[in-house]
Amino acid sequence: PSGICLTVVVLGASGDLAKKKTYPALYALYHRGFLPPNLRVVGYARSALTDEDLRSRLKGFLKGEEDSIDKFLASCSYVRGEYNGSEGYEKLQEILLQREGEMMCPSQIVGRLFYLALPPSVYPQVCTGLRHNCTDLDNAADNPKNWIRIIVEKPFGKDLQSSEQLADSLGALFPEDQLYRIDHYLGKELAQNMTVMRFANTFYNSWWHRDYISNVQITFKENFGTQGRGGYFDQFGIIRDVIQNHLIQLLALVAMEKPVSLHPDDIRDEKTRVLRCIAPATVEDTVLGQYVATGDEPGYLDDPTVPPGSKTPTFAACTLYVRNDRWYGVPFVLKAGKALNERKAEVRIQLKPTPASLYLSEGMRNEFVMRLQPGEAIYMKTVVKKPGLEMDTEMSELDLSYTKRYSGVHIPEAYERLILDAIRGDQQHFVRRDELRAAWAIFTPLLHQIDEGALTPEPYDIGSRGPASADALLARAGFEKGAKY
Ligand code: BG6
């Protein structure tokens, strides 16, 4: 993309997200040659920093050869400014115009990507400042292909109403096609493979529905607690933190119908449609948990930033139903928890038992598994003949493990890919407003009931599988724990 003069403005440049995710992703793209030569990355924040201060802060977070890191850092500069008012943004605009005016080639496209690495509470004021001060590009470069895009990240509100309010205030400033709402799970390799696999192969569609599928589990597990983020986490809880966004997005990819085309809006139309078919989550079909001190390990409530006696769930399992022809009656169990026995994110589709099976295959259920992390893999648990003289059967896998099949291939970080998509103007892997609304509609009634105390989290040990009631919920959903393999 050499025909572009690109400026990425990282607002909140001195914060955690910027140094841990945004800049490293930008550097990785730069290093792999995905960013144009005419690039500048402008950091913006309230702290009094010089360009050099920012560079030395970032350096430790960028992985690669010193030379290439230094070259990248040379294109990074810093502007100090407030998030409210217009003064800071006027200064930013001057800098942007000056840079764009210096362009050697007037036929270049001018692109400005504003990355809000900031809490959503300041989105409205930042977007107002940007809209009124930083959207006029250099007139001399008046090219209809010039663009301005804004990247924002969750939490988008705490429920349907607050999310709509935020969406209204941003929507009054920027049209939907300039707003890129990140859900970083959509940037994961296997999440992106789901549509390809489902719609580029003949055989999935024949069994991808209620006649063959017994239940679907979408699981997110972490083997560490909230670790210093307790105060932040406590305002949200695991449903708002992970399930309403990351897991529901995976559900949409699993359950959506084939889109009319690969146009980002056709894909998002289908995702929204399937989300709108989901009945709101209920208290009866939900289990909550909170991890407690175990051995020497402090529990959630021992975190000094967590309010004493907090009832915020750090674990939740919740069964949802998609009310359409393909999925009617198939339970989708979304399960997420912190401080569990392992770190894992996967989609597990369990098929119905083989009718009138000729072989001893009791408890051996076919399962189609997509593991997003760790170690990307897609495998199908399959009954096979045990090699040897007997006709014994056993459970095995048809296995596509990325470490074996794609050994040595770089699998990009979610943020890397999503930032590149935003630069390319591809909104496919970003959450559209109506999609977000549909996702909130599923969880808002339940969340309000939980907030009012209708469901209390059950204690669970750190390093355990979570509360035992979650297994009972899975069993009710028809999940049969299969033979070990
Ligand atoms: C974030 C959540 O969105 O996703 C965190 O706020 C969680 O609580 C994180 O730890 C998990 O992301 P990943 O990519 O490490 O699975």
What's the average model confidence in pLDDT over 275-300? 97
Question: How far does residue 233's CA lie from ligand 1's centre (Å)?
Answer: 11
Is 246 one of the catalytic residues?
yes
Taking the C-alpha atoms of residue 174 and residue 17, their distance in angstroms, rounded to an integer, is: 23
Task: Give the pairing type, strands 179-182 and 4-11.
Answer: unpaired
The pLDDT, as a whole number, for residue 102 is: 76
SS3 at position 293: coil
Which residue puts its alpha carbon closest to atom 15 of ligand 1? 222
**One-letter identity of residue 324:** N
Q: CA distances (Å), 350 to each of 10, 135, 347, 413, in order? A: 43, 50, 10, 29
The pLDDT, as a whole number, for residue 104 is: 57
Question: How far does residue 221's CA lie from ligand 1's centre (Å)?
Answer: 10
- What ligand 1 atom has the least distance to the C-alpha of 245? 3
Question: How far does residue 329's CA lie from ligand 1's centre (Å)?
Answer: 30
Question: How far does residue 121's CA lie from ligand 1's centre (Å)?
Answer: 20
- What ligand 1 atom has the least distance to the C-alpha of 343? 16
Whether 484 shows a pLDDT value over 90: the answer reads: no
Paired residues of 9 in beta bridges: 42, 114
The pLDDT, as a whole number, for residue 481 is: 79
- What ligand 1 atom has the least distance to the C-alpha of 220? 16
Question: What ipTM goes with this model?
Answer: 0.96
**One-letter identity of residue 112:** R
Question: How far does residue 93's CA lie from ligand 1's centre (Å)?
Answer: 34
Question: How far does residue 24's CA lie from ligand 1's centre (Å)?
Answer: 17
Q: Do 157 and 164 form a contact (C-beta atoms < 8 A)?
A: yes
Selecting among 184, 209, 246, 429, the annotated active-site residue is 246
- ∠ CA 214-219-223, nearest 5°, is 150
- The percentage of residues in the chain with a pLDDT greater than 90, rounded to a whole number, is 89
Which residue puts its alpha carbon closest to atom 9 of ligand 1? 242
Q: Mean pLDDT over all residues of the chain?
A: 94
Q: What are the pLDDT digits (tens) for 98-135?
A: 988 876 566 688 999 999 999 999 999 999 999 999 99
Which residue puts its alpha carbon closest to atom 8 of ligand 1? 241
Which residue puts its alpha carbon closest to atom 13 of ligand 1? 185
* Protein residues whose CB sits closer than 6 Å to any atom of ligand 1: 184, 222, 241-242, 345
Whether 214 shows a pLDDT value over 80: the answer reads: yes
Q: Which of 214, 213, 204, 210 is nearest to 258 (CA)?
A: 204
The pLDDT, as a whole number, for residue 2 is: 62
Paired residues of 39 in beta bridges: 6
SS3 at position 308: coil
Q: Do 446 and 189 form a contact (C-beta atoms < 8 A)?
A: no
Which residue puts its alpha carbon closest to atom 6 of ligand 1? 241
User: Which two tokens mark 468?
Assistant: 């035992």
- What ligand 1 atom has the least distance to the C-alpha of 154? 3
Whether 31 shows a pLDDT value over 60: the answer reads: yes
Q: Which helix (H) or strand (E) holds 275?
A: helix 264-276
Which residue puts its alpha carbon closest to atom 16 of ligand 1? 345
**One-letter identity of residue 285:** D
Q: What are the pLDDT digits (tens) for 163-197?
A: 999 999 999 999 999 999 999 999 999 999 999 99
Taking the C-alpha atoms of residue 315 and residue 219, their distance in angstroms, rounded to an integer, is: 11
What's the average model confidence in pLDDT over 125-148? 87
Q: CA distances (Å), 410 to each of 28, 185, 391, 403, in order? A: 11, 18, 42, 10
- What ligand 1 atom has the least distance to the C-alpha of 373? 16
- Peptide linkage before 467 cis (omega within 30 of 0): no
